[in-house]
Amino acid sequence: MNTWVSFQSAEQPLLGQFSVSGNKVRQNEPQKWQNNRFHQCRNLDGVFSVNAHIPPGPVLLVDDMIDSGWTMTVIAALLKQAGCERVYPLAISSTASKA
């Protein structure tokens, strides 16, 4: 299963400190195969889990590609529920058209 890594700033604010914050606990269909936002959101139900202990401080949540935005939204919500102060999402690329 996939694991994501969160970024917590520490004594070295330019480098920070990396820690594993959660896992993908079950496989799901790609978001781009979903027909609409309802199906995209439902497709992620129960897919991710967050570790019980989230170190204090902000988290930089990085994804290689963003399709619907729901993966970032769901993981950010899970991190916040686990006690994370702030979540800063960053996507390297987007599949959205520029039309």
pTM above 0.85, yes or no: no
In a domain, 25, yes or no: yes
Domain that holds residue 30: 3-94
In a domain, 59, yes or no: yes
In a domain, 89, yes or no: yes
Q: Rounded to whole angstroms, how far apart are CA atoms 65 and 86? A: 21
For the residues 23-30, what does the mean pLDDT come to? Answer: 87
Instruction: Note whether 54 and 80 are within 8 A (CB).
Output: no
**Is the Cα torsion angle 80, 93, 99, 39 positive or negative in sign?**
negative
List beta partners, residue 22: 4, 50
Higher-scoring residue by pLDDT: 55, 13 = 55
In a domain, 67, yes or no: yes
In a domain, 99, yes or no: no
* Position 98 confidence tier, pLDDT thresholds 50, 70, 90: low
Domains contained in the chain, number: 1
Q: Rounded to whole angstroms, how far apart are CA atoms 51 and 67? A: 25
